[in-house]
Every structure is written in C-alpha cells, then in structure tokens.
Amino acid sequence: MAESSPTETLAKWVSALTYDEIPESIITRTKYLILDGLACAFVGSHLPWSEKAATALLSLEHPFAGDATIFGWEGRKATALTAALVNSTFIQGFELDDWHSRAPLHSNSILLPALFAAAQHVTGKESDTRIDGRNLILATVAGYEVGPRVGLALYGSHVLSKGWHSGAVFGPAASAASVSKLLGLDAGKVEDAFGIACTQACGLMSAQFESEVKRMQHGFAARNGLMAAMLARDGYIGIKKVFERDYGGFLTQFSAGNGKTPAYLPDELVKGLGQTWQTENICIKAYAAMAGTHPTIDCVRQLQEEHPEKMKDIKAIKKVTITLGDAAFHHGGWKTTRPLTSTGAQMSNSFVAATQIVHGSVMPVQFTPEQLENEDTWRLTDLTECVLATDSEWPFSRQNVRIEFEDSTEISYAKDGARGIIPPLTNDEIVDKWRQLTKNVIDQETTDSIEKFILSLDTQEDVSGLYELMGRLAKNPIA
C-alpha cells in the first residue's frame, strides 16, 4: 500500500481528530485564546477603517438575506462568506490579536469568523443540527494546529522577509481545516478543501505601509477557507496533494526564490501531529502593535524602569538604535516618514519605540489621529535607526535598543523574547486583557455573559446563545 503524502496525512488527521485526544491543558488554553479573539473583535468593530470596510461589503448584500452575525453591529447579519470576511477584519483591526511565535499568523482572526459563520449557516439551514461547545473547541484546535504547520513548512517567519503576508498565506488551509472539522468531513473531502483553499492563498506585505487592506488580508483567508470547506462538503473536487505537488504546488510556489536549501520542508506539515501541539506557541499580545515591535517595547520599558529620570528627559535623547533580526528588520525596520496611517505606525519599530518613550504605553489610545501627529513622538522617530543584526541566525524576537544622550552617555537593553512569549500571558492575564479592552466598548452585562460562556465552553450544549451576544452593539474605543 502506497504511503500517504503529507497532504493526505494531514487531511486524515484533521478528519479523525477527536475531542478526547486533545490534552486538557490545550482545551483550557483554547478557551482563553478564543476569549482574547472576541475582545479584539469588539474593539475593532467600529474603528473608522472597519466601518468603511463593513459598510462597503454590506452594501452588496440584501439587508435581510444573511444568517451570520456581524460582531458588534447591533444584530446585523450577512451571508456567511461576507460575515467571515468582515468579522476577521474587525479582529485584525488594531494589532491586538494573537500571533504564532514560530510561524507568524493571527489564528483567531482566521478561524473564529469562519467557524461562527459556518455554524450559523449550517444550523440555520438544517434546523435539527446543533453545535455544542466541545465541537467548537475541537474545530478551533484543528485550525490552531494546521496553520502553523503550513507556515513551518515554509520556514515560518522567513516568508515575511520575502514580502509575503505570512498569515494570509498560511491561513486559508487553517480556516479550511477548522470548518471541515466542524462539518464532519471525511479525509478525502478535507483534502479537497485544502486544495481549494490553498489555490486562493496570497497576501502582499506591502499592505503594511499606508493601506487599510492589511487589516483585511486575514479575512480573505477566513472567507476562502470557509468557501473551500463548503464546496468540498458538496462534492466539489479540489487540488489533490496540494502542498507537495512539484508543478504548481503550494510549497513549490510560495518557496520560489527564498534562498533556502531545501526550498521547503513538507515533513513539517505532519511532524508531531497529536503529540506536539502548536497551540502552545500561540501568543497573546500585550500591546497594540505588530508582534515584531513588542521586544522593542519591552526593551524601552526596561530602560524606563532602570533609568526613570533619564528616560523622562526626552529632549536630551540624541539617537535611538534598534537592532533586529532579518524577518523583524524587513517587517518593521523600515524608515518611517510622514504622513503615517495607524496601520503603518503600528507596523514600525521606530514609531512604536518613540510612542513608548513619550507615552509610556502602546495601546489603542496612542494611535488616534491626534497622536499620529504628536511632535515629540515624531522627533524621536526621526532620531531612530533600525539596523540589521550581523548574525544571520538572530531570531525574530531578539532585539536590542540603545539610546544615546546629548551628554554623551548611553544606555541599552537586549531581550530575547517579548512579553507574551517570555513569559507567555497567563490565563488570568488574558481575562484581565478581555475586561480592559471591552470596558466602555460593550456593556458590562455583555462582557460578563460572554466571559462566563467562553470559559465554560466545554460544558455548553448549544453555542447558539453566543451569536446574539456577539451581535450586540459595540463602540469605537478611540472615538
């Protein structure tokens, strides 16, 4: 009997995975990860760029045609594909959502919108179908495990160095895996879903500068994976062995010109399935900025703690130098100039470092239109230089910040991993983040109800009550 290909093996694993096979620690952590994703959804739901996107996409829909909830929009619904795209755009709306430390993607923005839309569509069309909390956890974990493995097969963060938006590339397969699991597809149809999803994978990292579409690119992955699973469910045949095909295969195409030998690592797709849980490497952000800026923020915070008086005298700062590894340098080490959108500001190590120095915080209120023009922040941004580490093996999360002063003194601090990685945020800290982010964005009763529901998700017999809660009106946190 012929040995299964990596694509076939991964599809079989997704199809066969059971709730009881997932370690209790992963189940528990998944509930807190989901809670964080929902907090980000509410925060992002009425930001100016989110409202523009939602208004444009919802204008294409009949007001009463859909069965999937739009998060934070007072009961508004849309068709499943549109809801997945819009809700993902909300979760990615303010750079507050999770990321994977070894293969960068924002899992919740890909999986939760696709799963909620699929669940509402299926239960709405098939009245005898009910989805319980365990099914939702199981489907979520399937996606948490597949997405990073796809990324690791392409050397993880190296994809960023080549200009691809990594999560938008890795994400369609993750969404397809989650929705396929929710729908109970067999291995052959999961493989079809992978094939349909992967042919839609794309995302240009040039979106990080002035555009707003960076916020939406994980939404393309969420929507396309959902569409792939629904097509596969109804018998539509996808590309077989899509990951490892030599001609036009996913790994062949996305590794082209990457300078690696071998160009890709297909065994990473299935390495440690059911034994090594990539869910453990999903990190929760402590700051409202791109993950590659977080070690910079932590270095500055440490210098502020060790040298409080010196760091308060911002006019005495002569130069700031930030040393970054290859992927982080290409992603966030670019020269930042005016005018700058909030997207560009949150993706810039120099602007984020200046923000932390001036304001002592990097959260949503630091990225209002007024703060994007703060003269103290821009003075320091202009004095900052990001340099590429000479060590080619310098990891993504290792960074060094050196600050020189007018009196010829200098201070520096280096960090090997940002808060959220070393150490990871605890479950209690995630709950605290949920409460802080949703304060004044949704009402307290909604906050309490969702928190209680998600943290007892494994005991919920029907998740449909969550749809109404997520549809309640949210406010713009920076209005």
Does 479 map to a domain?
Answer: no
My answer on whether 33 and 135 are in the same domain is yes
Does 477 map to a domain?
Answer: no
CB atoms within 10 A of CB 444: 11
Cα–Cα distance, 217 to 167 (Å, whole number): 8
What's 78's domain CATH number?
1.10.4100.10
Does 280 map to a domain?
Answer: yes
My answer on whether 381 and 317 are in the same domain is yes
**b/e 203-238 (16+ beta carbons within 10 angstroms → b):** bebebbeebbbbbbbbbbbbbbbbbbbbbbbeeeeb
**Per-residue pLDDT, 1:** 44
What's 313's domain CATH number?
3.30.1330.120
Question: For residue 312, what is the enclosing H or E element?
Answer: helix 308-312
Does 230 map to a domain?
Answer: yes
My answer on whether 406 and 438 are in the same domain is no
My answer on whether 363 and 272 are in the same domain is no
pLDDT tens for 193-211 read: 999 999 999 999 999 999 9
My answer on whether 156 and 221 are in the same domain is yes
My answer on whether 311 and 265 are in the same domain is no
Q: Are strands 410-415 and 399-405 parallel, antiparallel or unpaired?
A: antiparallel
My answer on whether 200 and 96 are in the same domain is yes
Does 1 map to a domain?
Answer: no
**Per-residue pLDDT, 2:** 64
Instruction: Tell which of 369, 385, 415 closes a domain.
Output: 415
Which stretches of the chain score pLDDT less than 50?
1
Instruction: Tell which of 367, 390, 415 closes a domain.
Output: 415
Range of the domain at 339: 291-415
**Per-residue pLDDT, 127:** 65
My answer on whether 428 and 335 are in the same domain is no
As beta bridge partners, residue 100 has: 282
Backbone phi, then psi, for 427, in 5-degree steps?
-60, -40
My answer on whether 153 and 47 are in the same domain is yes
**b/e 46-83 (16+ beta carbons within 10 angstroms → b):** bbebbeebbeebbeeeeeeebbbbbbbbeebbbbbbbb
Does 257 map to a domain?
Answer: yes
CB atoms within 10 A of CB 306: 11
Does 136 map to a domain?
Answer: yes
**Per-residue pLDDT, 170:** 98
Closest CA to 192 of 235, 160, 249: 235
Q: How many domains does one find in the chain?
A: 2
My answer on whether 349 and 438 are in the same domain is no
Q: Are 191 and 238 in contact (CB under 8 A)?
A: yes
CB atoms within 10 A of CB 350: 24
My answer on whether 268 and 297 are in the same domain is no
| 122: its two tokens | 């299926």
pLDDT tens for 114-150 read: 999 999 999 986 667 899 999 999 999 999 999 999 9
Question: For residue 306, what is the enclosing H or E element?
Answer: helix 294-306
My answer on whether 438 and 400 are in the same domain is no
Does 240 map to a domain?
Answer: yes
